[in-house]
Amino acid sequence: MSINENSKGPQAAPKKTLAQRMKPYLGFYLMFLPVFIFVLIVYYWPMLGVRYAFYSYKLRSIQWIGLGNFVKLFAEKEFWSSFVNTLILSVGKLLLNTFVAVVISVFLNEMLNLFCKKFVQTIIYLPHFMSWAVVAAIFTLFLSTSSTGFVNETLKSWGWIEQSIDFLHSKTLWRPIFYMIDLWKETGWGTVVFFATLSGIDPGLYEAAELDGATRLQKIRYVTLPALSNTIIIVLILNLAKVLNIFEPVFVLYNTRVLEVSDVISTYIYRKTFLTAIPDYGYTTAVGLFKSLVGMVLMLASDYASKRIRGRGIM
């Protein structure tokens, strides 16, 4: 035997085919198959309907019009009003919820009595588990102009007003009322992330601050809030990508008298699709496609911002 033959090392094992690599995990693939089929049918199959954004689709009349729906869309004053309302309501909702959630989280963190802390947490968490339909029914009753309207009747009994205020039908008052209802329902749940961050702060930092003579407010300012700052930024970034998805809270609270200040893109699509005598499904598909494209841009912007701040993206 030659020296060259003796010097050859062990030969590499033949590369396995895809079927051979999958065979040991066949059971797992079979378990995953129903989920995969569900995702394809529910999430990806409807995406084929995007092509109708380039058609005029009224009942049985389908005609190719290219970018005609988008030309109509960008010229539609009502659409731009709903787009601006979407940004105002969503961004305002995001900023207010985050701010109030931080305040409540700090307040809970400062509570020394464990029973009171758990009790308050439970009370503020409960509204999150109520459906928006129930919440809308409760506040419509509370804010009613009839004799059953608790708020108006209370203000009258205190002598603050003489006539009932129609809160949910006023263009001036609808947005503040919407923000307050949303804060009542969602802020408690929003405190979960911040309270978890506060629970992880090193107690030694508070002890060191106390030794330096810091008051409670100074400890909040120089220890608590800096520890929360990174979480606050992350929450804002992660929620930025979802600002155009607002629908249910507005849908159950708005009405035709306040459309100018309450109509958002999703409710605009709903009205144009289901509340029009002869709807143009091609036009509403174009609106939905535009909304998705803007959402994708916001998602990419959020991912970029997350990489710059956290060192990793959200996708």
Confidence (pTM)? 0.82
Q: Give percent above pLDDT 90 in the chain.
A: 39
pLDDT band at 139 (very low <50, low <70, confident <90, very high): very high
Q: Please name the residue that has the structure tokens 């144009």.
A: 272
E strands, 2-111, in order: 55-58, 61-64
Whether residue 180 is contained in a domain is answered as no
pLDDT band at 296 (very low <50, low <70, confident <90, very high): confident
Domain range for 226 is: 68-130+187-310
Whether residue 207 is contained in a domain is answered as yes
Q: Mean per-residue pLDDT for 214-221?
A: 84
Q: Give percent above pLDDT 70 in the chain.
A: 94
Whether residue 244 is contained in a domain is answered as yes
Name the average pLDDT for the chain: 86
C-alpha–C-alpha distance, residues 194 and 200, integer Å: 10
Number of domains forming the structure of the chain? 1
Which pLDDT tens digit goes with each residue over 225-255? 888 888 888 888 878 878 888 999 999 999 9
Q: Is the pLDDT of residue 310 over 70?
A: no
- By CB neighbour count within 10 A (0-12 exposed, 13-18 middle, 19+ buried), where does 41 fall? exposed
Which is more confident, 8 or 52? 52
CATH of the domain at 208: 1.10.3720.10
Whether residue 21 is contained in a domain is answered as no
pLDDT band at 11 (very low <50, low <70, confident <90, very high): low
Within the chain, what is the greatest distance between any pair of CA atoms? 113
Whether residue 14 is contained in a domain is answered as no
Which pLDDT tens digit goes with each residue over 49-106? 899 999 998 888 889 998 999 999 999 999 999 999 999 999 999 999 999 999 998 8
pLDDT for position 1: 47
Which pLDDT tens digit goes with each residue over 54-68? 999 888 888 999 899
Whether residue 125 is contained in a domain is answered as yes
| Cα distances (Å, whole numbers) of residue 258 to 114, 168, 213, 231, 246 | 45, 8, 54, 36, 17
Whether residue 157 is contained in a domain is answered as no
Whether residue 162 is contained in a domain is answered as no
pLDDT for position 267: 94
